Structure 1
Amino acid sequence: MGLLRPGKGRSLILAVLATILVCTVYLYWTPTTASSTVSVVPSTAFEVPLIERQKDFWKAFHPILQRHDPDCPYPQKLEDAGAIHFDPNSDRPLPDITTMNEEDQKKMEQAHADFIQSIKAAGKTLEPAHTPGKKGLVSTAGAKYLPVFVSTLRMLRRAGSTLPVEVYMKDTDEYEKHICNEVLPTLDARCLVLGDVVGQDMIAHYQLKIFAVLFSSFEEIPEDLLSSEPFTSTGLVLWPDFWASSVSPLYYEISRQEVPPVAARQSSETGVFLVSKKTHFLPLMLAAYYNYYGPTHYFRLLTQGGPGEGDKETFLAAAAALGAPFYTVSERVQAIGHQLPDKLSGSAMAQADPREDHALTSQGKWRIKDPAVGPAPHIFFIHANYPKFNPGDNIFGLSWETAPTVNTDGSDSRAWTAPPETIQRFGYDIEKSYWEEIKWVTCNYENFFKSWKQKAGLCEKVKDYWKNVFAEPHADDPKFTQGGLTYGRRCLFMGIRRPFTP
């Protein structure tokens, strides 16, 4: 999916907004008590008018995007890269399975260079929309993702986070009056409509993330990690996917960069990232350029048909192309789910604390090459990617390939029980806490979400599941390390895609 641009003559089907916030649980070090009545002091940060600043930025930025159209046929694929697992000791070359003729490549290279020159020369005509010094969390959500967003937001507040939240929706059709006007303000969050800024039918699917970040009122996104290394020295922190990079060598020619070794970095999983717009405003605009022309030109160049093709590689690529600093977490992402007789049925991804990862790598210790050099960093995020935990969207039963809530005998089951050594690193029962919030949201707002209007008995279904799985302890419940990590959820995009299975 892409941006609909005048004169392109393409009819793109607009996808339902995927959510930034709804998929990533983060863990803090301080215990907190469970509560279904979260006390949050309303913020006055959202009283500052934002829409005019957003429109002024778009009025200046949109013509630059259009003026530097690659204006050439799409890159052609010879085949797809497929799912290649990352090997830090590999010396194989990047897959070279995308082709362009020399004239078209030169056009694309010149357009890329001219775009960078334009945004650098624009100066104050490209005034950012954010408020200097303001910190917060940004999400996109709509339709079936909105209930998951609200449960996620309650997890965030349950953790003690008081940062304001902005949730962006594609257009007014996605805006739900009761949720936006009555529910979210009590959690210091507000809805904003991207269509009010860029016009209707302009933004679709993966491109939503970058424009939500650019148009947000926040300068730094998100919170606790912003005062720690590696963010303080780089301004951009990204987490890895399971896979090796499959960027086309053509991209590096077009962006006038040296081709890095395939072992230099893993592919990105941008369900979560940290960014400072103060230091990385230019890279974010270049990432927007890659997304604007992503469906036609850049997504293919940056992934070549590898898993999760979309916006996932655009953030790192843009920073590298501009020589901006960034830190990529080296610790492998861990698949979590439940164990079947022959494999792990993965439904989520456990991602490491970047501070602990940086503490090792800054000493030249790389656990990805030798796990014996230091202890595994604690898990900081859980990316619940397949499926989303939406009671109104077939989370129960066998509708999903991973069937996360069903035992092999057909009874109700926890979703996250394996591998035990990874689950143990949670420190406490995060899954039970998350379902507590899902239950509260479902039973209090069952009749308000648009996507649940035709769904009957959701509250009772969730309560039955809770009773069977969490109300009483079971002999096979996961074991957790001591220390009582607390939890929350946080805001940066996760798309639905096929889960990793070892």
Structure 2
Amino acid sequence: MGLLNWRSNTAKRVLCSLMLLLFLSCLFTGRPHDSGRPLPRSTSSEKRASTSWEEYFYRLEAARPWADPVRPEATPSPSDKRRPYTTVADPDLPRLSRETKKSLRHGHSIFVSGLASLATRLVFEPKTTGIVTSVRPDDLGQLVSMLLMLRQSGSTLPVQVVLEDEILPSSAEQLCSTGLRSLGATCILPQQQDGWLDAARHLPPFQPSQWKSLAIIASTFQNVLFLDASTLPVQKPDYIFAKNAEPFASTGLITWTDIWTPTASPDFYAVAGDIDTPLLATRASSESGVLVIDKARHADTLLLAAYYNHYGPDYYYPLLAPHDVEDPGRETFLTSALVLESLDRKGTYTAPEKTKSEKKGRWSIRCSPRIYQRSNKGGVPGVVVMAQVDPLEDYHAVLLALQEEEWSQGSGQEQTQLQGDYRDLVTDPAFLDGLGNLTVSPRKGKYMFFHHYGEKLDFSRVTDDLLPTDTSGLRMRMWGDPDWVEANTGRDVEKMLWEDATEFWCGQQGYGKQCRLMKSIYRSLYVPDRFHR
């Protein structure tokens, strides 16, 4: 039996080596480029963002696990997810065989061993800040809604739209070349950036959850606010990056929370280098639609997250988020930061030299999101909105909560520090992990993002399905009673979105039918004397 196992393992290693040799031959051999109908070639600055794609994909391939894919024994339904800050372990988490664990640990170790070096070669334009999103070409209409709300908030941040498919329909080409540019957004095709084509051509198509880390890498910005196309900025997000604005100034990484508890398998932490398994009660799971990261301070965090996403479908998604079907990559960024901190404390990882003198940490939002669900006629679940807080408000709410409670659970030394230089202490990861289930509430009007679930906010395909109807069949507002929206944002953002979307799509060629329907809906629900023409 042992001989059979040895032969099987040897065969796998030989196969892995052959795949690597094939990859290298593809990597350094030119190929003709048949790209269908892509956009015009990227600008020099956009091409410059990915001059290290060849090395990036080479490092990923060199650290490929040889084990068979990990498959959970059961896939729990969303109702099986549990509330955050629980202290009860999940009995349904996947466990790895000894051989699988050895394979994943080996690949992880190889990638981490070269991570600090690779991180120093991540390319971006220093001291630049902007918003990044990744979309399929057929979701550009939904992206327009996000951009309209962004500009309505008063934001002047530039936006880079990373397209997940190089083959674009004519409508998408038109939007990228005119409509999106009018909203301060530029389309980027990583497939046209230097080094991508030959290095990535042999790989299967990437899933949407894998594209998030790729989009941030492909972007030219140093400081990035990543937003899903379905995440609407209802307040101006520019303040996140203001000089000395916390928590970004002291951490360089901000993640938002969902309403569930993390469900990572304990075997993941063994794979990652035998690091301590975090207590379940220390945080909630990560929200998938919004992330802030400084690529200078957190280049290694970003690249390790990209590694987890690259091998996510076969290995790391079942380990990190086995209960999540919609966005299994949601935990990869915060987990990467946690892993590198732990390995650094153990002395098995050393961060890039140039980041050692900079403030670097992580901030996981403590204010729980507010959930609003609108049911359609007959009680069928419809649109769900997850309202996420302004991180500056979250930071000050945590400080206030700690001052009010005097953090009695800490040691005397911690209390003395808190009363003195508490602003440094509160962004220290070790201290934050000890806060347990400390939760805080924001003030009214301090929500910054609405993550919209359900019917897509794509007004280029607007239909009556986007709006609920009452028992008499009359249209109702998309998000229901406007009072809760105004109470949490200070504005009637639903009305403003319909107004701006109507003006935008009525100004585009080929959308006459949608324009007439949108005007009709607007007149019946929002401002009767508007759009009568």
> TM-score, normalising length from structure 1?
0.75
Which of residues 258, 278, 296 in structure 2 aligns to 1:278? Answer: 296
How big is each residue's C-alpha offset from its partner over 1:156-193, in whole Å with a ceiling of 9 and x where there is no partner? 22322222211111233137332222233333321111
CA distance in 2, matches of 1:325, 1:441: 40
Are 1:139 and 2:133 matched, yes or no? yes
For residues 234-262 of structure 1, what are the alpha-carbon distances to aligned partners after superposition, in whole Å with 9 as ceiling and x for unaligned?
Answer: 11111111211111111111113211121
Name the stretch that deviates more: 349-358 or 169-178: 169-178
Q: Is the 8 A contact 1:338 1:345 kept in 2?
A: yes
Letter aligned with residue 319 of structure 2: L
Which letter does structure 1 place at the counterpart of 2:446?
H
1:356 maps onto 2:393 in alignment: yes
Distance 2:456 2:213 in 1: 21
Equivalent residue runs for 1:165-184 within 5 Å: 165-174=159-168, 176-184=172-180
Aligned-partner Cα distance in 2 for 1:159–1:233: 26
* Aligned partner of residue 208 in structure 1, secondary structure: helix
**Residue 386 (structure 1) aligns with:** 454
Q: Which residue of 1 aligns with 2:60?
A: 65
- Aligned pair partner of 1:164 in 158, 162, 166: 158
After superposition, where does 1:465-480 map in structure 2 within 5 Å? Answer: 465-472=521-528
d(CA) in 1 for partners of 2:49 and 2:220? 9
Aligned pairs for 1:302-321 within 5 A: 302-306=320-324, 308-321=326-339
Q: Is the 8 A contact 2:124 2:220 kept in 1?
A: yes
Determine if contact 2:222/2:294 at 8 Å carries over to the other structure: yes
For 1:76, what is the secondary structure of its paired residue? coil
CA displacement at 1:147 relative to structure 2 = 1.6
Q: CA deviation at 1:143?
A: 3.0
Change (3 A) 1:122 1:245: closer
Which has the higher mean CA deviation after the structures are superposed, 422-431 or 364-373?
364-373
- The Cα shift of 1:196 comes to 1.5
Residue 123 of structure 1 and its aligned partner are, at CA, apart by 6.4
Structure 1 distance, partners of 2:470, 2:437, is 36
The 2-side partners of 1:143 and 1:332 are apart by 32
Counterparts of 1:7 and 1:89 in 2: how far apart (Å)? 43
For residue 60 of structure 2, give the secondary structure of its aligned residue in structure 1. Answer: helix
1:462 offset after TM fit, Å? 1.1
Say whether 1:212 aligns with 2:215: yes
Q: Contact (CA 8 Å) 1:389, 1:395: kept in 2 or not?
A: no
Instruction: Pick from 406, 424, 428 the counterpart of residue 487 of structure 2.
Output: 424
In 1: Cα distance, 2:100 partner to 2:482 partner: 48
Matched, 1:332 2:332: no
Equivalent pair of 1:300/1:309 in contact (CA under 8 Å): no
Q: Which residue of 1 aligns with 2:15?
A: none
Q: Judging changes above 3 Å, is the alpha-carbon distance between structure 1 residues 393 and 244 closer, same or farther for their aligned structure 2 residues?
A: farther
Instruction: Name the SS for the 1:387 alignment partner.
Output: coil
Matched with 1:49 is 45
Note the C-alpha offset of 1:302: 0.7
Q: Which moved more, 1:259-268 or 1:77-86?
A: 77-86
Q: Are the counterparts in 2 of residues 416 and 423 from structure 1 also a CA contact under 8 Å? A: no
Alpha-carbon distance in structure 2 between the residues aligned to 1:140 and 1:195: 13
Moved more, 304-313 or 357-366: 357-366
Residue 435 of structure 1: which of 473, 481, 498 is its match? 498
Whole-angstrom CA distance in 2 between matches of 1:328 and 1:93: 21
Alignment of 1:183-332 (within 5 A): 183-197=179-193, 198-199=196-197, 202-222=205-225, 223-227=238-242, 228-256=245-273, 257-306=275-324, 308-323=326-341, 325-332=361-368
Superposed CA RMSD in Å reads 3.1
Counterpart contact for 1:94–1:262, Cα < 8 Å: no
Q: Which moved more, 1:382-391 or 1:92-101?
A: 92-101
Which residue identity lines up with residue 527 of structure 2 in the other structure?
A
Asked if 2 retains the 8 angstrom alpha-carbon contact of 1:235 and 1:326, the reply is yes
Return the letter of the residue paired with 2:525: V
Taking the aligned partners of 1:433 and 1:368, their CA distance within structure 2 comes to: 39
Q: Alignment partner of 2:297: what SS?
A: helix
Indicate the SS of the match to 2:277. coil
1:154 equivalent to 2:148? Answer yes
Secondary structure of the structure 1 residue equivalent to 2:250: helix
Q: CA deviation at 1:332?
A: 1.4
Structure 1 stretch 457-466 or stretch 344-353: which is displaced more?
A: 344-353
Aligned to 1:75: 70
Provide closer, same or farther for how the CA distance between residues 420 and 368 of structure 1 changes in structure 2, counting only shifts above 3 A: farther
Query: What does the per-residue CA deviation read over 1:84-122, in whole Å, with 9 as the maximum and x for residues that have no partner?
Result: 555455211244421221121011012112101112234
Aligned-partner residue type, residue 387 of structure 1: E
SS at match of 2:293: strand
Give the C-alpha shift of residue 267 in structure 1.
Answer: 0.9
Aligned positions of 1:442-453 closer than 5 A:
442-445=505-508, 447=510
Secondary structure of 1:465's aligned partner? helix
Aligned-pair distance for 1:308? 2.8
**Any idea what SS the aligned residue of 2:220 has?**
coil
**Which runs of no fewer than 5 residues in structure 2 stay unpaired?**
1-17, 23-41, 226-237, 342-359, 406-434
Q: Offset at 1:321?
A: 0.9
Q: What is residue 476 of structure 1 aligned with on the other side?
A: none
Which stretch of the first structure deviates more once superposed, 115-124 or 247-256?
115-124
Partner Cα distance (1:368, 1:339) in 2: 34
Identity of aligned residues (%): 25
CA distance in 1 between partners of 2:443 and 2:514 (Å): 42
Amino acid in the other structure paired with 1:74: P
SS of the residue corresponding to residue 190 of structure 1 reads strand
Pairwise CA distance, 1:52: 4.1
Q: How does 1:66-105 map to 2 (within 5 A)?
A: 66-83=61-78, 84=80, 87=83, 90-105=86-101
Shift of 1:364: 4.4
Give yes or no for the alignment of 1:109 onto 2:172: no
8 Å CA contact 2:119–2:300 kept in 1: the answer is no
Equivalent AA in structure 1 for residue 210 of structure 2? Q
Distance in 2 between residues matched to 1:61 and 1:162, nearest whole Å: 32
Change (3 A) 1:117 1:164: same
Query: What is the CA distance between 1:445 and its match in structure 2?
Result: 1.8
Distance 1:158 1:363, change over 3 A: closer
Q: Which segment drifts farther, 341-350 or 297-306?
A: 341-350
User: Are the equivalent residues in 2 in contact too, given 1:242–1:333 (CA < 8 A)?
Assistant: yes
Name the CA distance, whole Å, in 1 between partners of 2:442 and 2:211: 38
Equivalent-residue separation in structure 1 for 2:305 and 2:501 (angstroms): 34
In structure 1, the gaps of 5 or more residues are 1-5, 10-45, 398-402, 474-502
**Compared CA separation, residues 337 and 97, structure 1 to 2 (3 A):** closer
Larger Cα-atom Rg: 2
Evaluate the alpha carbon distance shift between residue 283 and residue 372 of structure 1 in structure 2; reply closer, same or farther with a 3 A threshold: closer
